[in-house]
A and B are shown apart, each in its own frame.
Chain A
Amino acid sequence: MIRVQRNGFALDVELEVGAGETVAILGPNGAGKTTLLRAIAGLIPVEGRVELDGDVLDDSASARHVPTERRHVGLVFQDHVLFPHMTVLQNVAFGVRGDAKRIARDWLDRAGLGDKAGAMPRELSGGQAQRVALLRTLATEPRMLLLDEPLSALDVTVRAEVRRELSRQLRGFQGIRILVTHDPLEAMALADRLVVLEQGKVVQRGSPTEVTARPRSRFVADLAGVNLLRGQGRGDHIELDGGGTLAAPEAGEGDVFAVIHPRAVALYLAKPEGTPRNVWLGRAEDLDLHGERVRVRLSGPVPLVAEVTPSAVRDLGLASGAEVWVAVKATEISVYTA
């Protein structure tokens, strides 16, 4: 368990990670993700306990604190932080014991960066620099790998390439891997398990599919691209906290979440007759092209986002401010306790 308290910001996280497992810490800016990594790395004081393979690294109860340099944790920063006054080879050799130059060269050769050994960091592209930074960390054979948004400073064009390399290197690394990110794609691609952090607290954890199937916060719902509503279950309907009711066959009782996929939200020019039990008149607030589909943000008794095809937008004559009938099939609503 890790507890960090500083300048009015409290981080309170219980986290257990197994060997060979990649855990992604996901959360919005200011959630405390980086603070958590820095605490594990021993760069900031911790209240609580940090343990690695039975070694106590931090324990505030017994005032134990192992300094960063003796933790054998590998820290990879958002932007490479390669030492600007050293060559690529010297950078990779920096933390290596024994025949550092030879070991570093082997790492560079294996990653196909051998020809850059004599280059200075400023001569590298962003992607190359981040790959070298990863090698510099892996070459020290750390027991745990801490990655702080390793791809977020890169151009979109090279991100995929570095992500592949990262994914390959992570598979080859036997220790614990903790990845901090606010990019869901990065988390899904690299992690076995997600931990969602908001305002210093864990709000959700589980496998990527579990977490996105049952979001428990606005942040996760936005990541998964679904509508998240909260209310009181009343058997066959939900009284929503934001006002309005929603018919749902398995609404349960008490505090519940309801998830509606935007594709399950249908739009009509006239009031639809038929099976959908959730029908109301709404207004299209704005339209946003998302790949092949258009996302329509709707206001009304229940504010939702609908996803429709561009041809439907044309047929409905949808524009910002247009009134439209909104229908959601009760069976398309997934409900679970909050």
Chain B
Amino acid sequence: MSRARIPAPLTALAAIGLLLFLLPLVGLVIRAPWNQVGPALIAPETATTLGLSIFCSITATVVALVLGIPLALVLSRTTGTLRGVLRALTTLPMVLPPVVGGVALLLAFGRRGLIGGVLNQAFGIQIPFTTTAAVIAETFVAMPFLVIAVEGGLRALDHRYEEAARALGASSWKVFARVTIPLLRPAIFSGAVLCWARALGEFGATITFAGNLPGRTQTVPLAVYVALETRPEGAIVLSLILLVVSLAILIGLRDRWLGEP
């Protein structure tokens, strides 16, 4: 198959775009204090922070899967104005500055918040400034990526598979579990990867809603920010670790992500 040649100016623009991604990474790698990487890696704070980051981002992704897939299903079935409203609501966290999201979360789940107040008075449960809060903040910001991907997959789905399953006597639950979900696997997978990546990098909503408590809510991005003020080398080392972890997981998942169902 022969394709039309890409015009030279477009190739040049593409190269500039690529450099914009590449140069900061190169800077990070070149300026990294390599002699400090070893000690930083085995420092207990590093393990705690990284562990917390991975725990929170994976938990947020699981929560997003459990809530986001049904949400995408509902979204894909609605039409008209309702659809527009629901879509705007679910994609809002993507456009909203994360700090604003954090403030909103505080107002809802904070000690005097809409729901937080009830939880606090009735059960003595306090959400803000806990690991739970970090997970909620990450889910809030990252779930839209999953919802959008799954909804796109649902709209592209050939619904005759579901009709065939129903005609074969499958209940709506069986159709969902044995036909819809398996057929959506590529969309769910790519959505989950995007969602997880967004959760891993989440900063603004987390620091606002969950605070910056080492061992409880201080994830790697927060630790990098704090370290930048006091010991920039530490910040670079932590950034490097996050970069390697993200790249490793993205590359490791790539084949399955792009694979056919």
Q: Is B241 an interface residue (CB 8 A)?
A: no
Q: Is B37 an interface residue (CB 8 A)?
A: no
Q: Which residues of B in the span 154-182 have a Cβ within 8 Å of any Cβ on A?
A: 158, 160-161, 163-172, 175, 178-179, 182
Residues on B with beta carbons closer than 8 Å to the beta carbon of A77: 160, 164
B167 and A41 within 8 A (CB): yes
Query: Distance in Å from the Cβ of A173 to the closest Cβ of chain B?
Result: 15
Given A85-B183, A85-B261, also A43-B163 (CB < 8 A): yes
Instruction: Give Cα A94–Cα B183 distance, bound, in whole angstroms.
Output: 15
A67 and B183 within 8 A (CB): no
Instruction: Give Cα A75–Cα B96 distance, bound, in whole angstroms.
Output: 47
Residues on B with beta carbons closer than 8 Å to the beta carbon of A140: 168-169
Interface of A, helix, strand, loop or mixed by DSSP: loop
Bitwise, B198-239 to A at CB < 8 A (1) or not (0) is: 000000000000000000000000000000000000000000
B183 and A74 within 8 A (CB): no
B167 and A83 within 8 A (CB): no
Residues on A with beta carbons closer than 8 Å to the beta carbon of B164: 75, 77, 81, 83
Q: Is A314 an interface residue (CB 8 A)?
A: no
Residues of A in contact (CB 8 Å), total: 21
A68 and B182 within 8 A (CB): no
The residue in chain A whose Cβ has the minimal distance to the Cβ of B171 is: A69
Bitwise, A30-45 to B at CB < 8 A (1) or not (0) is: 0000000000010100
Instruction: Give Cα A137–Cα B168 distance, bound, in whole angstroms.
Output: 7
Instruction: Give Cα A181–Cα B179 distance, bound, in whole angstroms.
Output: 28
Indicate which residue in A43, A85, A136 contacts B182 across the interface (CB closer than 8 Å).
A85
Residues of B in contact (CB 8 Å), total: 20
Instruction: Give Cα A136–Cα B171 distance, bound, in whole angstroms.
Output: 17
Query: Distance in Å from the Cβ of B172 to the closest Cβ of chain A?
Result: 8
Instruction: Give Cα A72–Cα B166 distance, bound, in whole angstroms.
Output: 10
B169 and A95 within 8 A (CB): yes
Residues on A with beta carbons closer than 8 Å to the beta carbon of B182: 83, 85
A-B pairs under 8 A by CB, number? 58
The residue in chain A whose Cβ has the minimal distance to the Cβ of B175 is: A69
Given A83-B179, A84-B183, A85-B183, also A94-B170 (CB < 8 A): yes
Q: Which residues of A in the span 63-96 have a Cβ within 8 Å of any Cβ on B?
A: 67-75, 77, 81, 83-85, 94-95
Instruction: Give Cα A83–Cα B168 distance, bound, in whole angstroms.
Output: 12
A70 and B169 within 8 A (CB): yes
Residues on A with beta carbons closer than 8 Å to the beta carbon of B167: 41, 43, 68-69, 71, 73-75, 137
The residue in chain B whose Cβ has the minimal distance to the Cβ of A79 is: B160
B169 and A69 within 8 A (CB): yes
Query: Distance in Å from the Cβ of A272 to the closest Cβ of chain B?
Result: 58
Query: Distance in Å from the Cβ of A294 to the closest Cβ of chain B?
Result: 42
Residues on B with beta carbons closer than 8 Å to the beta carbon of A75: 163-164, 167
Query: Distance in Å from the Cβ of A74 to the closest Cβ of chain B?
Result: 7
Residues on B with beta carbons closer than 8 Å to the beta carbon of A43: 163, 166-167
Query: Distance in Å from the Cβ of A223 to the closest Cβ of chain B?
Result: 28
Query: Distance in Å from the Cβ of B177 to the closest Cβ of chain A?
Result: 12
Query: Distance in Å from the Cβ of B261 to the closest Cβ of chain A?
Result: 5
Query: Distance in Å from the Cβ of A83 to the closest Cβ of chain B?
Result: 6
Instruction: Give Cα A235–Cα B166 distance, bound, in whole angstroms.
Output: 58
Residues on A with beta carbons closer than 8 Å to the beta carbon of B165: 83, 94-95
Q: Which A residues have a C-beta under 8 Å from some C-beta of B? A: 41, 43, 67-75, 77, 81, 83-85, 94-95, 136-137, 140
Q: Which B residues have a C-beta under 8 Å from some C-beta of A? A: 158, 160-161, 163-172, 175, 178-179, 182-183, 185, 261
Pairs A–B under 8 Å by Cβ, sample size 30: A41-B163, A68-B163, A68-B167, A69-B166, A69-B169, A69-B171, A71-B167, A72-B169, A73-B167, A74-B168, A75-B163, A75-B164, A77-B160, A81-B160, A81-B164, A83-B164, A83-B178, A83-B179, A83-B182, A84-B261, A85-B261, A94-B170, A94-B178, A95-B165, A95-B168, A95-B169, A136-B168, A137-B167, A137-B168, A140-B168
10 additional contacts (CB under 8 A) given A68-B163, A74-B167, A81-B158: A68-B167, A69-B166, A83-B161, A83-B178, A84-B261, A85-B183, A85-B185, A94-B170, A95-B170, A137-B168
